[in-house]
Amino acid sequence: MESNDDRCWICLGGDGDWPPLASPGDSKKLIQICSCSLRVHKTCLLNYVKERELEIGKERNPFNLPCMSYFQGKRKPGGVEVLSVRPRPGTMLLADEEILCPQCGSPVTLVAKTPSQLLSKSNLVRSYARDIFSKAVYGGLVCGAAFSSSTAVLTMSTCAGVALWSAIAPTPTLMKILEIPFKHVGNTIVSTATELTSSQLSVFATFPAYLYTFISETNPVLDTFHILCLTALGVPHLNAAGYLSPKYYPQLFSGAYFIYKWIYKFTLNKAYYKMVRKAVPHFFLSLLEEFHQGEEEFVEEETHICEIKQRISDVMSELPWYKRIWCYVFPPYTAAERRIVNAHTKRVNNYCLCVDFTNAFHERIPMFRILNVVLWPLSGAVVGACLAKVVPMNALSHVIETPEDIVYALNIVGMGIVGIANDLWGVYNAKLKYHMTFDMDILDTTLEGASTEQVAFYETSPGCSLRTVVANYMARAHGDTVSNDPFEPVLDTNDDVPRYRARSVSTTSRHDSDSHSTGSGDQLDRGSDNTLDNSPGNLRVRLGDLIDDLTRNVDIETLHSILNLPPYDLGSLDL
């Protein structure tokens, strides 16, 4: 019997045997396709490639786009491409569908006997033509959709710009800004221009984006719209009588905004920083990594600052009032304390310059920003109308030419006042959130002593009430026995805020365990024979069991919304 080395690994025939489905011109000899010991007939291997190619062809793209021509494959580095023998000649098998030796895994290289450059280039042109045609169709559809949508967006932006400009600028002033010639015919303004130029239309189209830049973070795209709008307005100039042109007012408004932006960083943003430092520690700790400062270093610095402030406070408490004012303005620091305070102040200023801390308290919702863009000029016009009743118009007539221009200037000032008021309201709202998070207290109950009746109050916002399951768990946290209806509403006549009180929550000292009696509610197991162990160690276990029960039975988000808690994981509390 012949050895395995002398047999074809496809048909198992020996050297000199006719391969299956062989023609008279086919060779009977075995060839070596790789460096291992396997041998194969040429005809058997080609038939195997044909069957493999037909299987792959079922899953191919009908246009055969991912295939390469034979000569493309030969130009690729490595030289391990497989010739396709499909009815469509001149193509290659996919690169991930190579024919591999079953023993060593080496790729099998096939070569064409009579390569045709003409056929190869023809197939290459066909494949590129199909590819270009399909991409051209898809590209045309995308370009058409983009053109249609951009035209619609440009039209909507222009209409919105006209409405927003009309809210703050009277018609004569607006036509003066756009340099549209007009004349008064009685009480009617008649324009002598037949159409608007592209620069005049761009003033309207870019105005919404111009306003959006004031209430958003720094963005190169939006800053470009800001510059385009100011450029479309033209260079401000003085009129013949020496009055300022209305084109000058947006330039002044932009300059005042950038000055206010720097003032905001050291005033209101610093107020946000102080609240974020305590109210949202996870937000602040992420900044420590960004500024390459460790948490331990910052905590140590904060400890030194607190000690210094406490010493200064003790010194000022013994001084008369006029010296307190002097010490408040010029604190009596030592040289070492001054170095610590200066380093801390420098670091805080660096934080306030680089980070907008309003994001920790106020969610930036694009829809609300767009709404603010719409309401800002309207509210500014309302404030401007109020200013017109207070500010003497004659005092402004020496600087501004017409009453319409005065109204326009007051409306812009009103927009600035509305913007500052909105920022102040944001700080006040964040302060309310801060106090809601931190102005909390824990009910202090007697852990040892005689039997007492504990009453726990749980305040909610007006019109809201605690859910039954949460109320039951709260009652169980404060006593051994609770009634079936442990909480009853108690109305406080002072503030009309619903409160909830435990009807009968009794505890018994561990020294008086024999006289402890059970009630008619849920009985809590505390170790031995209805005895409540109120020792601090056991109380920690009870609170841990309580939180575990809450997290299993009540959804965390629901529990947070009911108790007005910050989004912390109750299971991570160290009890």
pLDDT tens digit string along 354-378? 878 887 777 777 778 888 888 999 9
Looking up tokens 């276990």 gives: 541
* Shared domain check, 249 and 298: no
* Shared domain check, 514 and 458: yes
Q: How do residues 224-281 score in pLDDT, each as one tens digit?
A: 777 777 777 766 666 555 567 787 888 888 888 889 988 998 889 888 888 877 766 6
Highest mean pLDDT among 192-196, 451-455, 523-527: 192-196
Which residues span the domain enclosing 102? 4-115
* Shared domain check, 18 and 89: yes
How many helices (H) and strands (E) the chain has is answered by: 18, 8
* Shared domain check, 301 and 251: no
pLDDT band at 386 (very low <50, low <70, confident <90, very high): very high
Q: How do residues 345-358 score in pLDDT, each as one tens digit?
A: 888 888 788 878 88
Interatomic CA distance for residues 305 and 30, integer angstroms = 89
More confident residue, 553 or 478: 553
**Which of these three, 311, 331, 356, is where a domain ends?**
356
pLDDT given at position 347: 81
Whether residue 546 lies inside any domain: the answer is yes
Whether residue 276 lies inside any domain: the answer is no
Rounded to the nearest integer, the mean pLDDT of the chain is 67
* Shared domain check, 533 and 470: yes
- What average pLDDT does this structure show over 452-477? 39
pLDDT at 129 over 60: yes
**Which of these three, 255, 284, 312, is where a domain ends?**
255
pLDDT at 453 over 60: no
Give the closest residue to 480 by CA, choosing from 515, 545, 530: 530
pLDDT at 26 over 80: no
pLDDT at 37 over 60: yes
Burial 310-345 (b: 16+ CB within 10 A, else e): eebeeebeeeeeeeeeeeeeebeeeeebeebbeebe
Cβ atoms within 10 Å of 291's Cβ, excluding its own? 12
* Shared domain check, 167 and 104: no
* Shared domain check, 565 and 460: yes
Whether residue 304 lies inside any domain: the answer is yes
Q: How do residues 288-328 score in pLDDT, each as one tens digit?
A: 555 545 556 666 777 788 888 888 888 888 888 888 888 88
* Shared domain check, 250 and 297: no
Interatomic CA distance for residues 407 and 415, integer angstroms = 12
pLDDT given at position 322: 85
pLDDT band at 455 (very low <50, low <70, confident <90, very high): very low
Q: What is the domain count for the chain?
A: 4
**Which of these three, 356, 381, 410, is where a domain ends?**
356
Q: How do residues 486-509 score in pLDDT, each as one tens digit?
A: 444 444 444 444 443 433 333 333
pLDDT at 339 over 80: yes
* Shared domain check, 564 and 467: yes
Interatomic CA distance for residues 424 and 418, integer angstroms = 10
* Shared domain check, 305 and 244: no
pLDDT given at position 468: 38
H or E stretch covering 275: helix 268-279
